Structure 1
Amino acid sequence: MNVVDMDGPGGGWRVLVPETRRERMRGLRGHPSPGPREAMLFRRCRSVHTFGMEEPVSIVFLDRQMRVIEVRRSLPGRVVIPRRGARHVLEAAGGSTLRIGDGFRPARRTGR
């Protein structure tokens, strides 16, 4: 599992990126609930499930430019139907304030 720093709404985000099939199937299960600017990014994905999740999450659909095109509040134990035009899916805290049009990009590194 990779951890990526991204710039997004409200500042810096800590984003987990699952790389293996097993990591993708597990998702946030077994991880602490995401904080206000923490999430898991499923690249090249249009749909996720929340089976085995203990708490609600926000399912955030992103386009190719990493802009939010839809936010769905999801209860545990559900399948989330794919969103047309989605390229990636972000799982964030259930009370996330992400909105349509918000964008993400890799964090800029500053030299010392």
Structure 2
Amino acid sequence: MELINLTTGAIISDQVIPAYSFFKRLKGLMFTSSFPEGCAVHIKPCRSIHTYFMNFEIDVLYLSESNEVIALDRYIHPGQIGKHHEGTASVIELPAGTIHKTKLKKGHFVQIQNLKERVS
């Protein structure tokens, strides 16, 4: 699956890892050794995150039910708690620096889709 910025048309990630079950949401990126560029983790349902037991910084998108970016956090260090933003339905964790590189902004809309959907 890939993550696309519908507002700009840019591909944000070409490898989205879904974390929709209780255990996948619980584990997230804890205890992983790296988070390669081009990857993302979509955690749903989710209103906030933490970076305990993580080994690297991350960027975070807070999404509404309609996948509008309602808030962004850049370069969250390991061992921190993300902010709580009213209206958050899901969260996307990205490698640190992705928000800057892809020019993501509050108010943009994103979509997660299968790679096959874009080709057809």
> 1:21 Cα shift?
2.3
CA deviation string 1:67-96 (max 9, x = no partner):
222110211101112211111001100111
Q: Which residue number corresponds to residue 103 of structure 1?
A: 110
> 1:23 Cα shift?
2.0
Please tell me the root mean square deviation across aligned C-alpha atoms, in Å. 2.0
Q: Which residue number corresponds to residue 87 of structure 1?
A: 89
Q: Return 5+ residue gaps in structure 1 as ranges.
A: none
Q: Secondary structure of 2:17's partner?
A: strand
TM-score by structure 1 length? 0.80
Structure 2 CA distance, aligned partners of 1:25 and 1:57?
Answer: 17
TM-score by structure 2 length? 0.75
Please state which structure has a larger fraction of its residues in helix: 2
Q: Give the count of matched residue pairs.
A: 107
Q: Return 5+ residue gaps in structure 2 as ranges.
A: none
Choose 48-57 or 11-20, whichever is displaced more: 11-20
Structure 1 CA distance, aligned partners of 2:109 and 2:34?
Answer: 22
> 1:44 Cα shift?
1.6
